[in-house]
Structure 1
Amino acid sequence: MQRLLNIIPVGRANAMHAEDIARGMGYPTGGNQVETRELIRYAIQQGYIIVSTPRDGYWRSNIKQEVIDCTNSLINRADEIYDRCNELKNAWNQANPNNIIP
């Protein structure tokens, strides 16, 4: 955990992408950096304020508005995923009216 916190910078201007964090941690850098993202989630669960944007990457913050912006972005992404899930179920149900997904 401490190693992660030493790598993730303070301040948006210093933000790092998951691939760069993974490289610094010695984790695989191909794909989605799953291990890195899991460790970041764990750090947040432990009370560390780590925010991100897809464009800027990850950084530690003590600015309330940055945390609000990050949480709003996460909510919007969750809503988009939920909408896509419903659209997929609706498409299935239209194509398979005798075998619907509730």
Structure 2
Amino acid sequence: MAAVAVDMAQTLESSVPPALPVTSPRLAVVRFHGRSEAWGTGCKKDRFRHASTRDELAEWIPRVRASAEQAREVHALFDNCCGDAAVRAAASLRALLDAPPPAPS
């Protein structure tokens, strides 16, 4: 069984911390909900109406790369489903992952 990491607003007491534990050598999963300020107050549509920024996604690159060293597959699911936000975020994440990692300092 694979634990699922969650990217979401960190403004609530119930917010899930942005960690990507690898609990299966076969699969690691991160679910991007988006960081809408409507978490905890807005309707479902408002909670998922968020266009993930490049900086928000870039925070996950080290976690995704580290999990890829421990699991055969890493899946990224995008649940910010209003308009084409999920598709654009997935393309941005792919571009960030395709970029060479920064050289160690």
Q: TM-score, with normalisation over the residues of structure 2? A: 0.31
Report the structure number with the largest CA radius of gyration.
Answer: 1
Greater relative contact order (Cα < 8 A, sep 6+)? 2
By percentage of residues, which structure has more helix?
Answer: 1
Q: TM-score, with normalisation over the residues of structure 1? A: 0.31
